[in-house]
Amino acid sequence: FDPFTQKQLLKITCDVTLSGNYEVQGQVLILPVEGKGKYKIDIRGITVKTPFNLSHIEKSGTSHWKINNNWSEIFKFKVHNGTTFHFENLFNGNKVLAEPVLEMMNTNWKVIVEEISPPIIKTIIGYEVEAVNSLFGAVPAEEFFIQQK
């Protein structure tokens, strides 16, 4: 944190599990893929960094911080410990077709993650920025500094 320029760097390292329903018809790397069903993606040891600027807002007579720039366009991320993909009903349940595709995805997880992660990471950062802004709105800016005696 630089108190003069109000520049911050938000750095988060965590594991992320995504689950839900999918519908896909397209290509993964060079392989055609289709299916509809439940999915689960386990991302292990991801670090996300995004710089942002703070502005001061007045609230009840005290100064508070607020994240105020377009943080979502300038993030960087790296997955340290791998990613595992699980897709039910890939190729309408045809395991002969589905298993090699899932094996290829899990073997080449780095390439897949680089391709599909930006919107996922953007969503994760959005939640984190919302939480930090909530904290900044509740606690006056001066309370974030340790007073020297």
| Model confidence band, residue 118 (pLDDT cutoffs 50, 70, 90) | confident
pLDDT digits (tens, 9 = 90+) for 11-70: 889 999 999 999 999 888 777 899 999 999 999 999 999 888 888 889 889 999 898 766
Q: Which pTM does this prediction carry?
A: 0.75
* Six token digits for residue 115: 């391709």
Please say if the pLDDT value at position 91 is more than 60.
Answer: yes
Q: Does the residue 87 lie in any domain?
A: yes
1 is a domain residue: no
User: What CATH number is attached to the domain comprising 38?
Assistant: 3.15.10.30
DSSP per position, 67-124: E-S-GGGS-EEEESS-EEEEETTBGGG-HHHHHHHHHHHHHTHHHHHHHHHHHHHHHH
Residue numbers of the domain that contains 91: 7-144
| Cα 133 from Cα 32, distance rounded (Å) | 42
- Domain membership flag for residue 134: yes
Mean pLDDT, rounded, of the chain: 87
What is the pLDDT at residue 2?
Answer: 55
Q: Does residue 2 sit within a domain?
A: no
68 domain-assigned: yes
Number of domains forming the structure of the chain: 1
